[in-house]
Structures are given as C-alpha cells and as structure tokens.
C-alpha cells in the first residue's frame, strides 16, 4: 500500500509537469525511471526477506535494502552508474517518509542566489525556480546525475563534487560558477565577473543528435548501453540505445548475506528483457573479486586482488552459483535476444569449461533455444590467444578499462599511476587491433564496452580499427551518435593506422584533434 502511494505521488508529479509548457521531457523521463526503482524485483525480494526471515519492521527492512542498493551502485566503476545512487536515495527516502510519517525536505528561497548544498536529489531539483536559483553548487554529486540533467533542462548552471569547504560559507557570501568548466570562484574579482558574463556555456542537446549512428559514407554502427538493473534499461532506451551491450549482474549479488535465488535472478533478467523486447541484451556473468566482495563467497586476502580470484576463475570454482545464474538467464531468454558473456577470460580451457557447464544447464531445461556466447577480452593473455578463443565463441567484447591497466601495468585505483592506464596509449590500441583482426578472421564480431567507447577522440580510432559495435553509458549515446555522423570510414581507417605508430596517448589525442578538427574535441 505504501509503495502504491509513493508511485501515485510520482505519477501525480509527472501529470503536473506534463501540463506545463516549460517542462522538458527529461524531467518526466527521470521520474518514470524512479517508478521502475520502486518496482525492482531484486529490491522487493530483499525487503520481503528481511520482514519474513528476520522479523524487521517495514521501515527498517526498506531502509536497510535501499542502503544496500545505494552501496552497490556507489561501488561500481562507471561514473554514470555511480550517479544512480542519488536516484535510489531519492525514491527510497520518499517511501521511507511515508512509512515513518516524516515530512519531506524542501528549499524555501526568498531572493535570487546560488544554492550551495551537500547533494541534490531529482525530487528537490524539480522544485527549483530558475528565477530564484541562479546556480547550484554541490559538495558531492556527479555530472551524470539526474539532478544535474534536470538543472540543465531548467537552464540552471550547476557544478558538482567541489568538496565540503563551500558548505561553511556565510549566506551572504559572493560566489560565481561556470557550469561548463566546473569552476567555482569565492568572492570573485570584477575582472573575473566580467569574463564570466561574456562567456557562453557550451552544452550539448541530445535532441539534436541523429536517430542512428551512421557515418557520412553510410556505415551503420550499432550503439548499445552499459547498464545495471531494470531502471537503467528504460533510461537507456530513452537515450537512444539499440540494446544492452553489457548488463553488470553483480548488483544482484552485492550487499546481501546469501546469493540470489534462481527465481529472483530470473524475474530481474526477464523484466529487463521485456523492456528490451527483441533488442540485444548481453548479460555478463558474475564478476566478483578485485574491488567487489560478498560474504557468501570466501575471498582470502590477496596482495593484488585485480590479478587474483575473480571473474570466470571464481565462477568455475563455485559452479553452483554459476549454474543458478545460467539457468535464470536461459529461462529469461525465451522470446528475447539475450546473450551470455564470461568475464576475465585468460585461456581457452576456461571458456571450454564454462561452455560445458552452460551445455549441462541447457540440457536440463526444456524449450530453450541455443544462446549466443561471448567473452570479455580484458587481459593481454586473451588478446594473444584471440585467434583460438574466437573459435570457441560467437563474439568478443573488449573491456578497455581493465585491458588498459593490465597492458600498462598501472592500477586504475592508484592515483600515482592511474594516468598510465589510458586506453589511447598505442600499446592498448595495438591490442584492440590484434583482437579485431583475430575475430574477423574467425567470422565473429567485436564490441567495445569500456569507457574508451564514449570518448569522442577514441571513437574514430575504434571504428578505424574495425570495431563493429560500441556499448557506452546511456548519457553518452547522443554525443557518440553525433561524433559517428561526422566521420568517414576511409578517413578513420587511415587515422587508426597512423596513431598505432605514435609514441603515447598525448600524441594520439593531438593527432586526432588535428585531423578531425576542434569540434569533436570540445564535445
């Protein structure tokens, strides 16, 4: 009943916004996404377990489950997915207020000024009046957060993640901000104010992006989304995704004491598949380890967990968990275009062992069609063995985040060397080229699902190297489409060939900018 009340509240706001001529569709789209969080099968199952099995009251069960879900998203690597935590906090708080009878938070501004706050939920962002809120500055937050998108639709410049020092400023302090560059000035000089007054903020409007990712010479590039959960699937389609190139299944396993049941996994995969319809949905099997741990899989302390027991290595050692996941995926695949992808593959033997388990699970089920199987290419061993691995699978998906750190021997979480783990390093690009050549010789296709695929400077190189498909965070889809529409395949092939001979990432960036022009670089 409480959940229905919360849903009606959100639906009421959507209805109210739809009658306003100034409302941007982004605002209602974000609220529609919040409705999906309330209906998330994995969340509701956790709440139910806490109430039934542990005798928690509804409020405590809901608060505990929401906090676990928030932690799951915050621990993810993708900045877009991390930013979804504030959406979950927002909708979770709405339900909790109904359960406890607490009053909702609001801003009461009497005169125009810049709003300085720790963070901003979408619900609070929708309350803002542009004539009173001239700018927003948050100590936390993300540029990909929905509250940031709402601020953009309202025409309010916003700077996020500046730290806590601004929270102690006096109310009458004078500050200035530049939403385009993320800069903030405390007590700015008259010269700085004049410069800001004449500067035009450069923003990209997704409505101006082409409907499809097609190069100038007519080559269509499938553009997929990287997602976590049901709500992300809906948002991905709103952003123009043609399917899901990477569903990170870890969200079902984290922040809980026992692994998810087959029924719980099945309901979640099926819900996402129903949103996708016949569009591709690639589900990566469990990739726990490295920076993610769970209590029901005993992970010993490792000197370097990123080189340790994770991905397919762990799945093969815990076959009961893998079998349950594969059963759920196969059942959900009926009538849908679902593919399976194994992570952290380093050898042909690992793939064959995983496929053997998959075949056993397939044989135990009736009415299940054969499902396409791929692997993540994210370790150098997989690249060097790509010609043999390509004989075992239907596709490759290059995980450039991990591949970059393994090729460059640079931990992405170590600030002293993280800059070395750059996907534009020629060493990494040569690995991508080698993978693509091996795949195409075997007649299979190649996707890139790492952050490199959303870098406007990397897109022409990836296409020039022969990458068939890109999978990116949903907010990046429109800009990647626009970049692709400006490219010519013969031109990018020449560029890709040339950058492989350069001496470093900086030289690669400069070369692409010089060849394709500053427009792509700025966007």
Find how far residue 170's CA is from the centre of its chain: 37
Q: Give me the sheet containing 133-138, strands edge to edge.
A: 113-117, 133-138, 158-159
177: which DSSP letter? E
How many angstroms separate the CA atoms of 157 and 140, rounded?
Answer: 16
Q: Which residues contact 120 (CB under 8 A, 6 or more apart)?
A: 86, 136, 138, 141, 145, 147, 151
Strand 175-178 relative to strand 183-186: parallel, antiparallel, unpaired? antiparallel
Three state DSSP letters for 78-97: CHHHHHHHHHHHHHHHHHHH
For the chain, helix, strand, coil in percent to 5 are 50, 10, 35
How many angstroms separate the CA atoms of 489 and 109, rounded?
Answer: 53
Q: What are the start-end ranges of the H helices in 114-189?
A: 122-125, 146-153
Active-site position among 56, 57, 449, 497: 449
73: which DSSP letter? H
How many angstroms separate the CA atoms of 441 and 410, rounded?
Answer: 31
How many angstroms separate the CA atoms of 129 and 145, rounded?
Answer: 19
306 and 340 Cβ atoms separated by less than 8 Å = no
Active-site position among 19, 56, 146, 334: 146
210 and 203 Cβ atoms separated by less than 8 Å = no
In 3D space, the residue among 370, 372, 385, 462 whose CA is nearest the CA of residue 424 turns out to be: 462
101: which DSSP letter? T
* φ and ψ at residue 250, rounded to 5 degrees: -60, -25
Asked about 440 being catalytic, the answer comes back as no
Joined together, the tokens standing for residue 393 give 């699978």
Q: How far is CA 282 from CA 243, 273, 298, in A?
A: 8, 10, 28
Q: Which residues contact 118 (CB under 8 A, 6 or more apart)?
A: 138, 139, 140, 164, 167
How many angstroms separate the CA atoms of 473 and 506, rounded?
Answer: 24
* φ and ψ at residue 515, rounded to 5 degrees: -80, -35
Joined together, the tokens standing for residue 240 give 């123009």
Asked about 56 being catalytic, the answer comes back as no
Catalytic residue ranges: 146, 449
């Amino acid at each position: 009943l409480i959940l229905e009340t919360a849903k009606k509240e959100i639906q009421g706001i959507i209805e109210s916004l739809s009658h306003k001529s100034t409302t941007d569709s982004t605002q209602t789209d974000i609220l529609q996404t919040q409705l999906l969080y309330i209906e998330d099968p994995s969340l509701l199952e956790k709440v139910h377990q806490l109430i039934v099995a542990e005798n928690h009251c509804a409020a405590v069960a809901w608060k505990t489950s929401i906090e676990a879900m928030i932690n799951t998203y915050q621990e993810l690597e993708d900045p877009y997915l991390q930013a979804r935590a504030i959406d979950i906090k927002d909708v979770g708080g709405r339900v909790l207020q109904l359960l406890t009878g607490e009053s909702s938070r609001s801003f009461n501004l009497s005169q125009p000024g810049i709003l300085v706050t720790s963070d901003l939920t979408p619900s609070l962002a929708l309350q803002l009046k542009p004539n009173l809120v001239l700018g927003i500055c948050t100590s936390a937050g993300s540029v990909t957060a929905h509250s940031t998108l709402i601020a953009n639709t309202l025409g309010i410049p916003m700077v996020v993640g500046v730290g806590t020092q601004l929270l102690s400023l006096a109310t009458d302090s004078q500050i200035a901000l530049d939403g385009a560059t993320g800069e903030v000035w405390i007590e700015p000089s008259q010269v700085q104010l004049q410069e800001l007054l004449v500067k035009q903020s450069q923003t990209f409007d997704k409505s101006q992006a082409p409907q499809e990712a097609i190069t100038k010479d007519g080559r269509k590039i499938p553009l997929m989304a990287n997602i976590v959960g049901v709500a992300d699937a809906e948002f991905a389609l709103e952003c123009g995704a043609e399917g899901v190139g990477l569903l990170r299944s870890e969200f079902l396993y984290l922040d809980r004491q026992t692994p998810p049941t087959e029924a719980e996994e099945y309901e979640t995969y099926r819900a996402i598949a129903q949103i996708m319809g016949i569009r591709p949905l690639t589900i990566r099997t469990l990739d726990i380890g490295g920076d993610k741990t769970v209590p029901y899989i005993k992970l010993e302390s490792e000197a370097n967990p990123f080189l340790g027991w994770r991905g397919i290595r762990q799945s093969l050692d815990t076959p009961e968990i893998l079998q349950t996941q594969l059963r759920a995926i196969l059942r959900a695949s009926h009538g849908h275009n679902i593919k399976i992808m194994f992570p952290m593959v380093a050898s042909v033997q690992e793939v064959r062992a995983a496929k053997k388990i998959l075949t056993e699970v397939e044989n135990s089920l009736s009415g299940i069609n054969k499902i396409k199987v791929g692997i993540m290419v994210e370790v150098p061993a997989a690249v060097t063995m790509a010609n043999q691995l390509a004989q075992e699978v239907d596709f490759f998906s290059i995980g450039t985040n991990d591949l970059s750190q393994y090729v460059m021997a640079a931990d992405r979480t170590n600030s002293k060397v993280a800059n070395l783990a750059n996907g534009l390093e020629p060493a990494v690009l040569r690995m991508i080229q080698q993978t693509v050549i091996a795949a195409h010789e075997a007649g299979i296709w190649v996707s890139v699902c790492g952050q490199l695929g959303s870098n406007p400077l990397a897109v022409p190189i990836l296409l020039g190297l022969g990458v068939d498909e890109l999978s990116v965070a949903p907010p990046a889809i429109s800009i990647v489409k626009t970049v692709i529409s400006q490219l010519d395949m013969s031109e990018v092939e020449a560029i890709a060939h040339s950058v492989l001979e350069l001496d470093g990432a900086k030289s690669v960036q400069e070369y692409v900018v010089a060849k394709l022009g500053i427009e792509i670089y700025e966007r």
